[in-house]
Amino acid sequence: MTRPGLPDEQIAQRIAAELEDGWYVNLGVGIPTLVGNCLPPGRDILLHTENGMLGIGPRPPQGEEDIDLINAGNQPVTVLPGSCFFGQADSFAMIRGGHVDVSVLGALQVSERGDLANWMIPGQRVGRVGGAMDIAVGAKRLFVAMGHTTRDGAPKIVKRCTYPLTAVGAVKKIFTNLAVIEVGPAGLVLLEVAPGVTPEQVAAATEPPLTIAPDLRTIPF
């Protein structure tokens, strides 16, 4: 069955539209990485990668990769005018110190109060947390980018996460193939639906109740 709503590239595009001129942005692997490919023109948006670079440029042409120029997903990047480098302790000082305007991470589950689970599957014995926990608690705003449900159709937006947590109460907005949902103080608020998707469809694919925003709109492209 084809996934309804937006393909990953359009989820990324919707997130990119959210990014303001002058923002420092950290992108996790998966859909978040795609955000880097569709940054809105005319805005200086600086990408931070926790392995030690600010202002990362696009992937170089094949054959011009440099093993000393990579992002946290181990993908080759390039230097832009205004880029700079630093060590990992300084990099996480930026993150944990609240200097990164927004981080976009993938998720296995997000709870209605903004808890994030994205690093481990229950019963998995080899933990590999990477920088996710620091990024989740440290960024000024945490966005999640993910498919709205699992491949089996089970909700990934849940009342309580059953997967091991990455951070408590950290997620601010969730961007999926079906919708844009805000984690508000009184619970989840449905802000936008994908073209052709109804609020009812979103609600059916979401475990906790959704408040529909008075100015609910269709994600514009």
Partner 1 sequence: MNKGYPSSAAAVADIPDGASIMVGGFGLAGLPVNLLRALAEQGARGLTIISNAAGRGDLGVGRLFKGRQVRRFIGCFPVPGHSQHFEEQFLRGEVEYECMPQGTFSERIRAGGAGIAAFYTPTGVGTILAEGKEQREFNGRSYVLEHGLTADYAFIKGYRGDRWGNLAYRGTSRNFNVMMATAARVTIAEVEEVVELGALDPEAVVTPGIFVQRVVRGEVYDKTWVA
Q: Is 163 a residue that touches partner 1 (CB under 8 A)? A: no
How far apart CA 33 and CA 48 sit, in angstroms, is 12
Task: Find the shortest distance in angstroms from Cβ 27 to partner 1.
Answer: 15
CB of 68 or CB of 215, closer to partner 1? 68
Q: Is 26 a residue that touches partner 1 (CB under 8 A)? A: no
How far apart CA 187 and CA 157 sit, in angstroms, is 12
Has 50 been annotated as catalytic?
Answer: yes
Task: Find the shortest distance in angstroms from Cβ 73 to partner 1.
Answer: 9
Cβ atoms 19, 37 nearer than 8 A: no
The set of residues, in sequence order, having a beta carbon less than 8 Å from that of 185 and lying 6+ positions away, is none
Beta strand 173-175 with 141-145: parallel, antiparallel or unpaired?
parallel
Catalytic residue selected from 50, 64, 65, 192: 50
Q: By CB under 8 A, name the one of 69, 107, 171, 190 that touches partner 1.
A: 69
Beta strand 187-193 with 179-184: parallel, antiparallel or unpaired?
antiparallel
Cβ atoms 26, 100 nearer than 8 A: yes
Q: By CB under 8 A, name the one of 121, 128, 151, 214 that touches partner 1.
A: 128
Q: Summarize as ranges the residues that interact with partner 1 (CB under 8 A).
A: 21-22, 24, 43-44, 46, 48-55, 65-72, 74, 76-77, 79-100, 115, 125-135, 137-138, 164-168
Active site amino acids: 50
